[in-house]
Amino acid sequence: MSRLEKRSMKSCQVGLDLAAIGKRWTFHILRNIGALHVDRFNQILRSVPGLTPRVLIMRLNELEERGLIRSVMIKQKPRLVRWELTEKGRDTVPIVEGYLSFAHKWYPNSSLKNHLTQQKKQPDLLDLIQLATKERSANTLKTI
């Protein structure tokens, strides 16, 4: 890629988002946070074989900088956070689902599997996220 192309991509917000989503492990991290509710640092780390703590920190920071995820403080001391998709992050669900459909069709024996259950079948991300959103809304209404 030429310097001009790199400079152009840096000024293009869509290009920056695509670059972040396209990095190694990011797809798995988004899937785990959004659909599987694997949302704590060590849970994410254990759920993606080969992912190192250093790379996970970098990817979480990049996704947060791009506005795709946010950290939610669980406890201040010791510092415990969980990660959740933002509205922008939830809007990536159709992209992730499309890629899953593509991968399932063209690479049926690929390693895109849920390492928590060791199953190759992927959950329907949009349905799971919509269900989680409804559950959160219902819980919010109960507390009001």
User: Which pLDDT score, from 0 to 100, does residue 18 have?
Assistant: 83
Cβ count near 125 (within 10 Å): 21
Written out in words, the top-level CATH class of the domain with range 3-143 is mainly alpha
Q: Tell me the C-alpha distance between 141 and 54, whole Å.
A: 39
For residue 92, give the nearest of 21, 16, 24 by alpha carbon: 21
User: Which pLDDT score, from 0 to 100, does residue 67 have?
Assistant: 96
Query: What percent of the chain is helix, strand and coil (3-state, nearest 5)?
Result: 60, 10, 30
Length of the chain: 144
- Count, in order, helices (H) and strands (E) of the chain: 8, 2
Angle (nearest 5°) at CA 139 between 134 and 143: 145
Mark 27-66 as b/e (b = at least 16 C-beta within 10 Å). bbbbbbbbbbebbebebbbebbeebeeebbeebbebbeeb
Per-residue pLDDT 10s for the chain (144 aa) are 566 556 655 578 888 888 888 888 898 899 889 888 899 999 999 998 899 999 999 999 999 999 999 999 999 988 899 999 999 999 988 887 788 778 778 877 765 554 444 544 444 455 555 555 666 556 555 555
User: Which sequence spans correspond to the domains of the chain?
Assistant: 3-143
